[in-house]
Amino acid sequence: MRHLSRHGWHALGWFFVALGVIGAFLPIMPTVVFLLLAAWCFSKSHPHLAERLYAHPRYGHHLRHWRDRRAISRKGKVSAIAAMSVSVPFTALVLGPLFALIPLAVLATVGPWIWTRAE
């Protein structure tokens, strides 16, 4: 991704903003994670757009805490781990028990990592 043009980073940033907006309305999708990715993309193309995300009244403090301290709030940690936990039985019911191993593996690997981040 190093060779992506400024326009490519810009488009990718807007793609992640769109996913973040969807995540704001759908509880099964994260919002802050996609906005973090958008800010990172914008920092490579249009830094003023990244700054607008960091200044956002609702999500900006989460983005700044991650940028500055690699910190996740306790509420964010609990929400992320709860959402991953709910996705295991949901996937088992919708797609079958074998497919439930995917979110279970994500929970087992990403869950502890999230929990051990600073607050």
pLDDT, tens digit, 9 for 90 and up, residues 94-114: 999 999 999 899 889 988 998
- Cβ atoms of 99 and 62 within 8 Å: the answer is no
Q: Give the residue numbers spanning the domain of 18.
A: 6-69
List C-alpha distances in Å: 51 to 30, 34, 114: 20, 15, 25
Same domain? For 40 and 86 the reply is: no
Give domain status of residue 1, yes or no: no
- Cβ atoms of 112 and 80 within 8 Å: the answer is no
Same domain? For 48 and 79 the reply is: no
Give domain status of residue 80, yes or no: yes
Instruction: Give pTM, 2 decimals.
Output: 0.78
Same domain? For 42 and 96 the reply is: no
Give domain status of residue 87, yes or no: yes
Same domain? For 41 and 79 the reply is: no
Q: Show the beta-strand stretches assigned E in the chain.
A: none
- pLDDT for residue 40 is more than 90: yes
Q: Which two tokens stand for residue 95?
A: 């797609």
Number of domains in the chain: 2
Which amino acid belongs to residue 82?
A
- Cβ atoms of 19 and 29 within 8 Å: the answer is yes
- 64-77 residue pLDDT tens: 998 999 998 898 88
